[in-house]
Structure 1
Amino acid sequence: MEPQEKKGLTMRILDWIERVGNKLPHPVTLFAIFALMVIVASWIFSTMNVEVEDPATGETLQVVNLLSNDGIQYIFESMVENFVGFAPLGTVLVTMLGIGIAERSGLISAMLRGLVTSVPRSLMTAALVFGGIMSSMAADAGYVVLTPLGAVLFAGLGRHPLAGLAAAFAGVSAGFSANLLLTSLDPLLGDLTIQAAATIDPAYADTILYTMNYYFMFVSVFVLTIVGTFVTDKLVEPRLGEYKGGVKEEVDYISPIEKKGMIGALIAFVITVGLLSLLVVPSWGPLRDPDDFLASPFFHSLVPVILIMFFIPGYVYGKITKEIKSDKDVANQMSETMASMGIYIVLAFTAGQFVAYFNHTNLGKVIAVSGAEFLDSIGFTGIGLIIAFIFVAGFINLFIGSSSAKWAIMAPVFVPLMMQLGYSPELTTLAYRIADSTTNIISPLMPYFAIVIAFAQKYDKKVGIGTLISTMLPYSIVFSIVWIIMLLIWMLIPGAEIGPGAGFYYNG
């Protein structure tokens, strides 16, 4: 027997992460465990008479015991309300109704294929990364459409197919938070941020918009496209070397009927935007606040706006391509979309209990105030704190794949904590989104990680977890560094905002 090749430190660490991560319970079970832990912790800390002074009101905050008579009554009486009141539940389901029509009618797939097959050879890498970043507007469609398409396109051009797969995967997953448009992720994370901020300052929470990170993420699309192109062409593809697998690919170009459908969808999109603008632009618009534009009802109505802007073009495309023949097809496609959200609905039940218990017991405020006092006492604030938070969130992302699941856990703790230290909830959310996106591609627990490996094995049977992680690690490292530098530069610009009305600091 030949001795096994000794693994390097990096691979041993990654192997350890994989082993530990695989032993973690399902996120649904994890939240149930967290909810039980909150119940027990509330009893322990209330018995110890732990209390802090609320900096906002000056009142003394005590931990509420959920194992008392009143606490047990609350657990049973609030269970349904905690579920249906879980902030992102309705937001995600409503937006997915519109996105589901655009995806299942074939519009999203056609748009992605049209984007990357209509650019010059010299811009192919950039087109793949850009298309991957933009694919987040259709939730997970980029993983199943663009990632294998990237390999096909590179193979068709005589380049290494795994480099094309890596470029697309980097855009789809590492650049997940960035987009030129608002996506379902914005209101999903936004609701959790608002809910967490309200525990410290309800008045400030009412001013937080789903567009809180829009300016920064808009610019990030172009920055990450350039960075992703550089990493692919200068680091990843040269390391892979010349492809000798012999798999020949033919690119699946857009058909005439798909082109006709896309033109129809574009016209429908323009008309839809025009009609919606009538609700906002004129002074008499019902979704406009004549005194303060940022306080307009429009910014608090983005969920139905996203629904409409995806639904109508998707429907028009489906009618033209015959994917939608009647209202039954629309109902079926929406039903299929909701069926695919089943696990999320179950997750929302246990997550909703955890978040509600955490807030009701005052544990969030107690931890936030105590943590802020501790960090202030050791002088750990400023830029160092923001960077440390990004690394902590990125490390947690290696073990928990769901973006909303992680933020449901972290927001009740870190948003109030950072507010106590003078940093806005909007900045904390942005730092989290940077960490969450950049480490997706090196986490074996990311839901689509195994699927990407399967795509890669078509071209190289030896590809495994280690191969994919080592291929994607340069993207994760460089994206993280560039995004952090970009954030630090942004913070140095006087009066800069990361979204409409969203600054860096909280002056409660």
Structure 2
Amino acid sequence: MNKVNTKDAKKRGKFQKFLDWVEKAGNKMPHPVSIFLILCIAIIFISFICAKAGVSVTYTGIDPKTKETKDLTVNAISLLSADGIRYMFTNAVTNFTGFAPLGTVLVAMLGVGVAESTGLISALIRKLVLSTPKQLITAVVVFTGIMSNVASDAGYVVLVPLGAIIFLSFGRHPLAGLAAAFAGVSGGFSANLLIGTIDPLLGGISTEAAKMVDASYSVTPVANWYFMIVSTFLITILGTFVTDKIVEPRLGEYKGKHTVETGELTSLESKGLKYAGISLIIFIAIIVALTAPYNGILRHPETHKILGHTPFMDGIVPIILLFFLVPGAFYGLGSGTVKSSKDVINGMSKAMSSMGGYIVLVFVAAQFVAYFTYSKLGIILAVNGANFLDSTGLKGAPLMIAFILVAAFINLFMGSASAKWAIMAPVFIPMFMRMGYSPELTQVAYRIGDSTTNIISPLMSYFAVIVAFAQKYEDDMGMGTLISTMLPYSIVFLIGWSILLMIWTLLGLPLGPGAELRYMLPF
């Protein structure tokens, strides 16, 4: 592995030394597969102890399916009980096959594999290198990562590995590019210039929580739009700074075996790009024709919506597959790298053969996440965190900062943004409304905490995916290296984003169309 640059080690700052310690401590741990196996065993015994001790919580929550608000009591469930043991044996396969990132990654990689094997990605990267100023490439990668969350989880699968290739093509450390893309995709998950899938999802939960105080209140999908537009540029700036000034200098010079060709395009490659561009335009036109009309086939057949649980969003992964496969195949026809359908199939096969280590890692990681969910320990931790904050007696800005920190902490143990919000919203939205803060403000504070610690949490669904991508460039890449690499982003994003929210509230700016900061209780 390319070790951390240790030149002038005595002159390294305290923060860099702390990151070195995090990396060394993390990398002394076993292989990531072994770590998740150990965590599985730990959860089994912790759940047994908690269940025997009668650990439980009672809270007012929102059922994500029925949207009903009701009091719920959750008890810790032992995985060493008869039912728990049966669960572990009977659900091992479905835990694996139902693990969301698995299907997303494998299906998308079929298309990416074709684009890579035919030479399309290489040609596009070289064109990017020739046309983009070197000093802007970091910002481009981070910004694109932030914008990618419009397409749900596509950024994890497509942009994160591309970030590594882009940096490598500029003669920079590929792990710095991977980190920059990961920071944008996941650390800046809630920021965007457009309304994404998470906005109506959180808004719906916030509306139900607000109705506990004001039955007529509604939190719209655009409730945080203005703030998130500004946040997009803030996270881009912060992500660029952390990459260029902290992460890449710490990684040092890349001395691995991987290289990317950066020379001028040949006439055949230019012809291939022309074929790819035309085919992509036709493909996009077809998708638009299926989506844009009010009765479009890919819209919801009853509500006619595009976002949410609709054919378009539920089918985003196969759309991504075709987005890469179609231009990849046509690029091959134009450039001469595809002679027959066998070449396309070979590209898919090669992509799948490179995912063996990832599949092994996912099998164990999926069991751990499933065990944690089954035991109810995540819910118990979230509710107790909320109760702790409620008991502090904080008010004003300190209360908001404390709420952000609690959300960030809980996010380390409970990955789903909507699941956490369904637990936390009925507690905090009514509490903050009675203190004069709008549900929109509470929601945006939650989104800051929920986003910033994604990139350092092994429980985040795609964390294992990122480890696998990184191991392509560093064979012995461990969780310690990844966490120590991403920790500066998490800290800087958390501080910078919180400061932006404090400035925003001091200026009294609306968070979105019709979304004010303050709330006045009805008489």
Task: Give the alignment's TM-score, normalised by structure 2.
Answer: 0.65
* Aligned equivalents of 2:240, 2:98: Cα separation in 1: 42
Correspondence for 1:15: 20
Contact kept? 2:448, 2:498, Cα under 8 Å: no
Contact 1:364 / 1:412 at 8 angstroms: preserved in 2?
no
**Equivalent of residue 305 in structure 1, options 307, 319, 328:** 319
Aligned residues of 2:161 and 2:178 also touching (Cα < 8 A)? no
- CA gap of 1:85–1:276, structure 2 versus 1, over 3 A, is same
Structure 2 residue identity aligned to 1:115: L
Equivalence map 1:272-351=2 (5 Å)? 272-289=283-300, 291-293=303-305, 294-295=307-308, 296-351=310-365
Following superposition, the deviation at residue 115 of structure 1 comes to 2.0
Aligned to 2:277: 266
Q: Which moved more, 1:129-138 or 1:324-333?
A: 129-138
Alpha-carbon shift at residue 384 of structure 1 (Å): 1.2
Q: Could you tell me which of 118, 125, 133 is aligned with 2:135?
A: 125
Query: 1:158 aligns to what?
Result: none
Matched, 1:111 2:124: yes
Q: What are the Cα deviations for residues 59-99 of structure 1, in whole angstroms up to 9, with x where unaligned?
A: 43222222122222222122222211222221221122222
Q: What corresponds to 2:158 in structure 1?
A: 138
Show the 5 A alignment for 1:51-62. 51-56=56-61, 57-62=70-75
Partner amino acid for 1:315?
A
What is the DSSP-based 3-state SS (H/G/I as helix, E as strand, rest coil) of the residue aligned with 1:58? strand
Q: How does 1:212-227 map to 2 (within 5 A)?
A: none
Q: Unaligned 5+ residue runs, structure 2?
A: 1-7, 62-69, 146-154, 210-221, 251-259, 430-441, 459-465, 514-523
Counterparts in 2 of 1:185-204, with a 5 A limit? none
Distance 1:421 1:175, change over 3 A: same
Superposition pairs of residues 477-496 of structure 1, within 5 angstroms: 482-483=496-497, 485=499, 494=510, 496=512
Q: Is the 8 A contact 2:456 2:487 kept in 1?
A: no
CA distance in 1, matches of 2:129, 2:330: 23
Secondary structure at the residue paired with 1:359? Answer: helix
Structure 1: gaps spanning 5 or more residues: 152-161, 202-210, 241-248, 397-405, 455-464, 498-508
Partner letter of residue 19 of structure 2?
L
CA distance in 2, matches of 1:315, 1:5: 53
Q: What per-residue deviation string (whole Å, max 9, x for no partner) do you get for residues 337-386 of structure 1?
A: 11222222112211222222222222222222222212221246853146
Equivalent residue number for residue 168 of structure 2:
148
**CA–CA separation in structure 2 for the residues paired with 1:355 and 1:12:** 32
Q: How big is the shift at 1:431?
A: 4.4
- Partners of 1:213 and 1:96 in 2: CA distance: 33
Q: Does 1:84 align with 2:101?
A: no
3-state SS of paired residue (1:175): helix
Query: Does the C-alpha gap of structure 1 residues 476 and 496 become closer, same or farther in structure 2, counting only changes over 3 Å?
Result: same
Contact conserved, 1:95 with 1:306, CA < 8 A, in 2? yes
3-state SS, counterpart of residue 496 of structure 1? coil
Distance change (3 Å), C-alpha of 1:393 and 1:419: closer
* Pairwise CA distance, 1:312: 0.9
**SS across alignment from 2:74:** strand
Question: 2:383 is matched with which residue: 369, 377, 380?
Answer: 369
Equivalent position SS for 1:20: helix
Q: 1:226 to 1:140 in 2, by over 3 A?
A: closer
Kindly tell me: are residues 430 and 378 of structure 1, through their superposed partners in 2, closer, same or farther at Cα, counting changes over 3 Å? closer
Confirm whether residue 95 of structure 1 aligns to residue 108 of structure 2. Answer: yes
TM superposition shift of 1:171:
4.4
1:7-86 equivalent positions in 2, closer than 5 A: 8-56=13-61, 57-86=70-99
Letter matched to residue 316 of structure 1:
F
Amino acid at match of 2:291: V
Distance 1:54 1:348 in 2: 33
Within 2, Cα distance between the matches of 1:428 and 1:118?
39
Shift of 1:272: 0.7
Partner Cα distance (2:228, 2:338) in 1: 34
Q: What value does the CA root-mean-square deviation take over the aligned residues?
A: 5.1
Q: Is 1:384 aligned to 2:377, yes or no? A: no
Residue 306 to residue 216, structure 1, CA distance change in 2 (3 Å): farther
Alignment partners' CA distance in 1, 2:374 and 2:457: 32
The Cα shift of 1:311 comes to: 1.5
The secondary structure found in structure 1 opposite 2:265 is coil
Q: Which residue identity does 1:338 align to in structure 2? A: M
- Range moving further from structure 2, 375-384 or 330-339: 375-384
- Report if the CA contact (8 A) 2:358-2:468 is conserved: no
**3-state DSSP of counterpart to 2:60:** coil
**Does the CA contact (< 8 Å) of 1:107 and 1:262 recur in 2?**
yes
Shift of 1:127: 4.1
What SS class does the counterpart of residue 279 from structure 1 fall into? Answer: helix
Is contact 1:98–1:311 with CA below 8 Å preserved after alignment? yes
Aligned-residue offset at 1:50 = 2.0
Residue identity opposite 1:43 in structure 2: F
Q: Is the 8 A contact 1:115 1:131 kept in 2?
A: no
- CA-to-aligned-CA distance 1:14-36 (integer Å, 9 cap, x gap): 33222211112222222222222
Is the Cα contact below 8 Å between 1:128 and 1:167 reproduced in 2? no
Quick one: structure 1 residues 391 and 261, their matched pair in 2 at CA, closer, same or farther if it must change by over 3 Å? same
| Secondary structure, aligned partner of 1:55 | strand
In structure 2, C-alpha distance between the alignment counterparts of 1:81 and 1:392, rounded to whole Å: 29
Which one of the candidate residues 246, 255, 270 is aligned to 2:266?
255
Are 1:175 and 2:192 counterparts? no
* Deviation of the 1:114 alpha carbon: 0.9
Query: Structure 2: which amino acid aligns with 1:291?
Result: T
Residue 102 of structure 1: how far off its partner (Å): 1.9
Q: Which amino acid aligns with 1:345?
A: I
Amino acid at match of 1:496: G
- Kindly tell me: are residues 473 and 307 of structure 1, through their superposed partners in 2, closer, same or farther at Cα, counting changes over 3 Å? closer
Report the residue type matching 2:357 in the other structure.
I
How far does residue 389 in structure 1 lie from its aligned partner after superposition?
5.6
CA distance in 1, matches of 2:425, 2:229: 25
Structure 1 counterpart of 2:119, which letter? G
Question: CA 1:128–1:82 in structure 2 vs 1: closer, same or farther (change >3 Å)?
Answer: closer
- C-alpha contact (below 8 Å) 1:28/1:347 kept by paired residues: yes
Distance 1:476 1:38 in 2: 26
Distance in 2 between residues matched to 1:79 and 1:342, nearest whole Å: 18
Q: What is the SS of the residue equivalent to 2:57?
A: strand
> Contact 1:35/1:357 (CA < 8 Å) preserved in 2?
yes
